[in-house]
Amino acid sequence: MVTVGIVDDSAFMRNILTEIIEQRGHEVVGEASDGESAVELVENTNVEVITMDISMPGQGGHWAVDKIMERHPVPIVVLSAHVHEDAEEALELMERGVVDIIRKPGGKERSVSLWDRADEVVERIAGASQSSPRSGSTIDSASGSATRGADAGATSRAGRSGSRERSALGSSSRAGSSPTDSIESAKTTTLLVGSSTGGPDTVETLLANLPTGLDLRVLVVQHMTDALTGSFANRLDAATDLEFREAGANETITAGEGVLAKGGYHLEVTGYRRGRIDIDLSKAPKINNVRPAVDATMRTAADVIDDHMIGVILTGMGQDGAVGIKSVADAGGRTIAQDEATSRIFGMPKAAIETGSIEQVLAIDDIPDAIVRLCTDDD
């Protein structure tokens, strides 16, 4: 059973959602009709997941998401009739900390339409509750928690605002003003990146600040619905020097290319030969209650790639990627996790660090330089 809080300015919609959720064995522990009462609901109940409307009077959904993530992070599922019409707004909400976005039916038939999708809606709400927000415990990046490499624990306290400034610089790289001079690398490298809550801007910051000249093939898994992965892939293509696209079935990735896992599918590595990576999409069962899963991509990559690999775990709720990053390390790959100070949610990096397979724990601004060193060092 999952405890749910419902935030919507429509009493009609709150009543429908309560009935749908409770008929399927879960408990609604509170309701709110605006942003301020949503924050109070989270602080005063044992709620495990919040459903959130965005357009509300007074302090609306955007404000509430920010305050909840700042004060008492819990998984948030947005139910909105409008967000899916604006991909940039949807990506912004995911950057703020939203776990999932469900299209809420509108008009006179909205109750019938919601009942028609009741099983899907409840499954996604219950699934979101499996994401573990940041716990009260803190990993000291300078301690021995990351045990594999001598560089473990190199941590800075750079804020997210600095990351976004660097991302803005990186977005001009296609025009010839790359933030770092072109660097030649003799290593044929596969870069595997996993991210979830708060990830879109973080992934863009990382990739936009990689210099040209690295012999990279990049596979990114960002927990995101299929309604958004195409738009996000286009955004990465515009912001980086890589030829970036949404992953498709039975494709091959070569140097200078990157793919983003398609929402609703696992991205699996099926073959590797002379710097060419074969990939495919899979509807296999969810892993860590998500699809695409970081673990699926990293584990299959570790199974078949026999060249230089780098695995990076970025901000996100839950522990997806922990098994995968260990597989990369066990296969001889190099490993990095984002530090707590610059992670929106430290769940995924923390879980990766606790495997003992992470070599470096770094602020997001420092990860591109670390990747460059790993690609150009002689070891």
Could you list the active site residues? 196, 223, 320
Which candidate, 311, 337, 339, places its Cα nearest to that of 324? 311
Count other Cβ atoms within 10 Å, centred on residue 114: 18
Q: What distance in Å separates the CA atoms of residue 103 and residue 36, rounded to the nearest whole number? A: 23
Which candidate, 324, 318, 3, 323, places its Cα nearest to that of 135? 318
Residue carrying structure tokens 């109070």 = 40
Q: What distance in Å separates the CA atoms of residue 239 and residue 366, rounded to the nearest whole number? A: 18
Cβ neighbours for 363, distance < 8 A, ≥ 6 positions apart: 155, 156, 157, 158, 338, 339, 341, 342
Q: What distance in Å separates the CA atoms of residue 298 and residue 279, rounded to the nearest whole number? A: 12
Q: Is there a contact between 298 and 248 (Cβ–Cβ < 8 Å)?
A: no
Which pair of tokens denotes residue 95? 């950057």
Q: Is there a contact between 100 and 72 (Cβ–Cβ < 8 Å)?
A: no
Q: What distance in Å separates the CA atoms of residue 310 and residue 161, rounded to the nearest whole number? A: 26
